[in-house]
Amino acid sequence: MSLEEAIQKSISEIPECLAGGYVDLTSGMLLGIKTVDSHPQEVLEMLAAATADLFQGPNVVTIENMFKKARGLPLDDFHYFQEIIVNSENLIHIFMRSKANQEHVVTFVCRRTANLGMVLTKARAALPKVEAAL
């Protein structure tokens, strides 16, 4: 199954899901995306850059290192933040760091009317399937 097919399958299984994407944080590239709407290329490119900032921006890395230090963990390449949920006016944005590759993030966008618990459950179940398609 291709990455785009895995994302599409995940979108169909996550409640009220409108889009899914796979971002490489190292390169800042959007490796795969499926959406019910069409979006200009510059918007899609900004999605990848914003996702990288969200997980690896300088302030985020500083906070992660402070948490690691407070908990007696080594200041290594391990990333403390694994999932980020952003609720906007009409949407739920789920960002999940890949378990297989810490430099990759899977993201799903759902309508705000979706049950957040079900969205998280289904998104977490989809993560290994999307990772396996890469």
Q: How many CA atoms lie within 13 A of 14 on its CB side?
A: 31
- Please give the helix or strand (H or E) that residue 10 lies within, else none: helix 3-13
* Mean pLDDT rounded to a whole number for the chain: 92
The amino acid that residue 115 corresponds to is N
In the DSSP assignment, the letter for residue 77 is: S
How high is the pLDDT of residue 117? Answer: 97
Average pLDDT over residues 15-24: 95
**Residue 104 and residue 51: Cα distance in Å, rounded?**
10
Asked whether residue 38 carries a pLDDT value surpassing 80, the answer given is no
pLDDT tens, 57-101?
A: 999 999 999 998 999 988 888 888 999 999 999 999 999 999 999
